[in-house]
Structure 1
Amino acid sequence: MKLNLGFGKDVVEVNITETNLLGVLEPNRIDLGLSGQEEVKRAIRDPIGTQRLKDIVKKDEKVVIITSDITRPMPSKVVLLEIVNELREANVELKNIKIVFALGCHRKHTEDEKRYLIGDELYNQIECIDSDGQDYVNMGITSSGTPVDIFRPVAEADRRICLGNIEYHYFAGYSGGIKAIMPGVSTRAAIQANHSKMVKDEAKAGEMLHNPVRRDIDEVANFVTVDYILNVVLDEHKTIIKAVAGHYLEAHRKGCLFLDKLYKAEIPERADVVVVSPGGYPKDINLYQAQKALDNAKHAVKDGGVIVLVASCIEGFGEKVFERWITNAQHPEDLIEGIQQNFELGGHKAAAIAMVLKKVDIYLVSELSDETVRKVFMKPYTNVQTALDDAVKRTGENSKIIVMPFGGSTLPEVVASGENLNSVRTIGVEV
């Protein structure tokens, strides 16, 4: 069976014996309703687990709205307009509203970037500020030892509203919810304590209830009240296709369930070999970006198997801290130990790759030099067919193979027989 995979701005072809092919995983097909601003309005009119926002907030209360920084795809200007309109209906004066960009450990914005994120209308009327990890209030410590150090304007507000988008997060399970608070407006020490739990087995994409990172994040709500959230799910064009609003846990969980219907792909068992592409340019422009597809693919492969990662990586590593961590490591274990001792953004993705390498071999089909690929502890290839043939030689001629053409947005999940499994050649069903 011949299959095409995105590779940079081109496609590459791979031929797989049909008796070996366990499945081709693609996003599920689901019926969508409203989209964009109209979907945001619908969610605000129909909150989950709370009253409408206009009935929660009182006229003279100080309100902070926490939203994502410029590194995230969150369409803040669309959502903020509707949130502010709702606050106006509660007769909240604009001088009592503050918009806070959740930087986590990221750099500060320029004023032009702030204006771009929230739009001219709101920028000219409402104070908008970056979070600052040096100006915080300690509000306690979680049961797993994470200090609840919250940016002072957020900690001292009467009402807190969290915005964000929901997508799979490779060690927090899902983005969104009160992730806007932790790590969004928390200190570096707090983020370090929380994110160091990423090395635990249950700290993985699509895992919520048993995920130590996510449980720690959600526990922060015991110390700092979140009055309301509005989260969105975006399609590949960054269009809002689902919005959920209301209670910080109940609404978030509904959004996560929608994401699962769209992007979770059921498989009957793990494969010996997984061939995965991020989907081509720009998702495979560098190794830093391609890591997301690799991390999703790990859920479809047996321990001791092989992942064939098909990613151009024409621009190399893609992030300086990530590159420094990888090039300074002598063994994958160095990266895992290092991130536990000193969490650093960029280094965390290097550690995530190392965690995959603990369980499987990675054959990288790319435009990187062989020397560079070996430096990241992978086996270099320039041809996907050669890489797959070598993988099958290692795992056996009867090896089962799964192909993930859109690895960055498809999350495999093993479902036992009788649990609504749709295990035909292409696993993608009407929901």
Structure 2
Amino acid sequence: MVEVWLPYGDSEVCVRIPTASLLDVIKPKDIDVPPDPQEEIRSALKNPVGGKSIGDIAKSKTKVSIVLDESFFQINRMIIHTLIDELRSAGIRDEDVTLIIAHDPFRLSSEHDLPSNAGLFERLKIIRHSPGNCENAYFESPSGIKFYLNGDFPEADVKILVGMVEPHPLIGYTGGWELIIPGIADTNSSNEIFKLGLDEITRRGRLKDNPVYEEISGAAEKVHVDLALHIVMNGEFKVVKAFAGEVDKSFLEAVKFADSIYRIPVEDRADIVFISPGGS
């Protein structure tokens, strides 16, 4: 028998498998972690993939809105500190920055995911998006699904998206326009779009011909976004690479890099597969 320990919350669960029946144990590929993750993020902001740097975008502007993935609290703190440093250099005051915590319908929200109210975060306007309270910014998806957005985002002079890029069972990969829908959209439109996930073509890591991804990107791209920052992590949830710039270009570069970590070839199909999402 072979013992395989799967991460489960803060602990692990042991699965015992007959040696002859075990095809493989698949994990994300090991990849070097940058010595200074904050410098990796700062470098991405100064060297965008398409579009302008954050300094050029924010110059002569006043109001900034940042949509932030609500997971990975410690990484988010580091990202926001780095972003604010760059915005200050461009003349933006902390008091003129709104931080919108995106809604994730597949994850229970926790107050622990919100940045601390101490220091820097006391000076920012912080909003947790409520998908049941959207009355502004009406748009349509390619198939005609109507959706509404959190009004604080479209009204800003500078609009920024910040998210983690990792495999998602319906969208293909998180990040990109997913931070708009469902991130800051209303409940009804998000539900309608995710019904498309019943199509068997939707799966983790697939963007091409994925109806959920196509609907989300086709609708959300109608919202003008100035900059996106995408973070790729390894299997231990540590920052390994950052991509900033135009939404689609930076997202696809991040997906390409994430594929090199998470897309693992297998020799044969198994009859039984035990899966762990990686623990907490």
- For Structure 1 versus Structure 2, the TM-score category normalised by the shorter chain is 0.7 to 0.9
2:101 corresponds to = 101
Given that 2:234 and 2:261 are in contact with CA atoms closer than 8 Å, whether structure 1 keeps it comes out as no
For each residue in 1:313-355, what CA deviation from the matched residue of structure 2 results, as whole angstroms up to 9, or x when unmatched?
xxxxxxxxxxxxxxxxxxxxxxxxxxxxxxxxxxxxxxxxxxx
Gaps of 5+ in 2: none
- Hey, what does 1:73 align to over in structure 2? 72
The structural deviation recorded for 1:237 is: 3.6
- Report the CA distance shift for 1:89/1:208 in structure 2 as closer, same or farther (over 3 A): same
Say if 2:57 is the partner of 1:56. Answer: yes
**How far is 1:25 from its partner?**
2.8
Q: Distance in 2 between matches of 1:177 and 1:228?
A: 10
Q: CA deviation at 1:4?
A: 2.5
Preserved CA contact (<8 Å) 2:72 2:113: no
How far did residue 257 of structure 1 move? Answer: 1.2
1:265 aligns to what?
264
2:84 is aligned to 84
Closer, same or farther in 2 for the Cα pair 1:148/1:61, shift >3 Å?
farther
Structure-2 residue corresponding to 1:121: 119
CA contact (8 A) 2:115 2:121 kept: yes
Unaligned runs of 5+ in 1: 284-431
CA distance in structure 2 between the partners assigned to 1:196 and 1:279 by the alignment = 23
Does the 8 Å CA contact 1:166/1:255 hold for their aligned counterparts? yes
In structure 1, the partner of 2:276 is 278
3-state SS, counterpart of residue 161 of structure 2: strand
The alignment-based identity, stated in percent, is 23
Higher alpha-carbon deviation: 204-213 or 29-38: 29-38
Residues in 2 aligned to 1:232 and 1:163: alpha-carbon distance in whole angstroms = 8
Contact 2:23 2:270 in 1 (8 A): no
Match of 1:215 in 2: 214
| Pairwise CA distance, 1:191 | 0.7
Task: Give the structure 2 partner of residue 316 of structure 1.
Answer: none
- Distance verdict in 2 for CA 1:142–1:26, change over 3 Å: same
> 2:46 touches 2:54 (CA, 8 Å); kept in 1?
no
When the two structures are superposed, what TM-score results if normalisation uses the length of structure 1? 0.58
Q: What is the TM-score when the length of structure 2 is the normalising length? A: 0.86
Q: Do the aligned partners of residues 104 and 274 (structure 1) sit closer, same or farther apart at CA in structure 2, a change above 3 Å counting?
A: closer
Q: Distance in 2 between matches of 1:33 and 1:201?
A: 38
Give the distance between the partners of 2:273 and 2:149, measured in 1 at CA. Answer: 42
Change in 2 beyond 3 A, CA 1:172/1:95? same
> How far did residue 34 of structure 1 move?
4.2
SS at match of 1:81: helix
Structure 1 residue matching 2:247: 3-state secondary structure: coil
Q: Following TM superposition, by how much is the alpha carbon of 1:9 offset from its aligned partner in structure 2, in angstroms?
A: 3.7
Does the 8 Å CA contact 1:169/1:175 hold for their aligned counterparts?
A: yes
- Is contact 1:139-1:224 (8 Å) kept? no
Question: Quick one: structure 1 residues 42 and 212, their matched pair in 2 at CA, closer, same or farther if it must change by over 3 Å?
Answer: same
Higher relative contact order, structure no. (Cα contacts within 8 Å, ≥ 6 residues apart): 2
Secondary structure of the residue aligned to 2:100 is strand
Q: Name 2:243's counterpart in structure 1.
A: 244
Distance 1:45 1:246, change over 3 A: same
Q: CA deviation at 1:59?
A: 2.4
Contact 1:172 1:213 in 2 (8 A): yes
* TM-superposed deviation, 1:38: 2.1
2:177 equivalent to 1:178: yes
Report SS of the residue matched to 2:159: strand
**What SS does the aligned partner of 2:28 have?**
coil
Cα displacement (A) at 1:199: 0.5
Query: Counterparts of 2:113 and 2:18 in 1: how far apart (Å)?
Result: 46
Report if aligned partners of 2:136, 2:148 keep a CA contact under 8 Å in 1: yes
Distance 1:34 1:40 in 2: 12
**Residue 267 of structure 1: SS of its match in structure 2?**
coil
CA spacing shift, 1:28–1:9, aligned 2, 3 Å: closer
- Given the alignment of the two structures, is residue 13 of structure 1 paired with residue 16 of structure 2, yes or no? yes
From the superposition, tell whether residues 104 and 167 of structure 1 become closer, same or farther in structure 2 (CA, over 3 Å).
Answer: closer
In structure 2, relative to structure 1, the CA distance for the partners of 1:151 and 1:104 (3 Å cut) is farther
CA distance in 2, matches of 1:219, 1:65: 21
Per-residue CA deviation, residues 113-151 of structure 1 (Å, 9 max, x unaligned), is: 6343xx622222111112233233143211123223111
Task: Tell me, yes or no, if the aligned pair for 2:31 and 2:240 is still in contact at 8 Å.
Answer: no
Q: CA deviation at 1:267?
A: 2.5
Check the 8 A contact 1:6/1:277 in 2, yes or no.
Answer: no
Distance 2:203 2:245 in 1: 26
Q: 1:130 aligns with which of 124, 128, 142?
A: 128
Q: What per-residue deviation string (whole Å, max 9, x for no partner) do you get for residues 66-119 of structure 1?
A: 1122xx225211101111111112112223211111125578765x76343xx6
- How many equivalent pairs are there? 273
- Which residue of the partner structure matches residue 187 of structure 1? 186
- Going from structure 1 to structure 2, the CA distance change for 1:132 and 1:22 (only over 3 Å counts) comes to closer
Of 205-214 and 259-268, the range deviating more from structure 2: 259-268
> What letter matches 1:97 in structure 2?
V
What one-letter code is carried by the residue in structure 1 that aligns with 2:100?
A: V
1:212-262 CA distance string (max 9 Å, x none): 111111113432111111121223443211111111111111111111111
Does the CA contact (< 8 Å) of 1:5 and 1:277 recur in 2?
A: no
> What is the distance in 2 between the residues matched to 1:230 and 1:128?
19
